[in-house]
Amino acid sequence: MTVRSVRSPIASLSRQARTWGSYSYKASEDVLRFDVKPEPASMTEWLTYSVVPLGPDALEIEFRWERLRVAFRVAFDVDGLVRKSLDEALAAAGPTDWEVYVQAARYDLEKGTNLEKALVHASKALQGKETFWTLELKARALDRLGRREEAIPLLVKAIASSRGQAPAAYTEGLEKTLAEWSPPKPSR
């Protein structure tokens, strides 16, 4: 990245990563050009680049040199990128590629979106391979859709399957979830 002029500052990102200075600069190699606003800064002897996270979907790129600071924000469509990647993986997946279906279902459950699709993916994962993970995943998808009565038997099966296979804390977590999901027992 270079800034072309202090009077009318334009940053350019070039395809050519191995050029030094402006000696071999060619505007035709720019991938992106945009205006920037240099700001006064404390003295920095060496040219310094920083990448500062601003949240889960944005960052700030900053560079400092001498008494000048230039920074700009870069935002990403994280959800769009993840969904594109999942869609490509799902399109290429076969019936035994259960891990891909687990990833797709988990992503939608964590985001709280596409819950019906999450259930379809959880079901395909369970068909691909029955494990305590896939049983739990389908149970959680059913629960999120308000179908707890269907979810409880799957969670019970996940607990039984996890004993001796998963860390005790995992099984205990499933048991805690089952207790939260189970209707209260009538008092005598």
Q: What is the mean pLDDT of residues 3-10?
A: 64
Cα dist from 83 to 26, 60, 98, 133, whole Å:
36, 24, 17, 22
49, β-bridge pairs? 63
Cβ 137 vs Cβ 102: under 8 Å: yes
Structure token pair of residue 45: 């002897």
Alpha carbons 3 and 70: distance in angstroms, whole number: 9
Tell me the pLDDT tens digit for each residue of 100-139: 999 999 999 999 999 999 999 999 999 999 999 999 999 9
List domains and CATH numbers for the chain: 1-36 (no CATH), 40-76 (no CATH), 78-181 (1.25.40.10)
Q: What is the mean pLDDT of residues 182-186?
A: 81
Q: What is the mean pLDDT of the chain?
A: 91
Phi, psi of 180 (to 5 degrees): -65, -35
Structure token pair of residue 80: 């769009």
Global confidence as pTM: 0.72
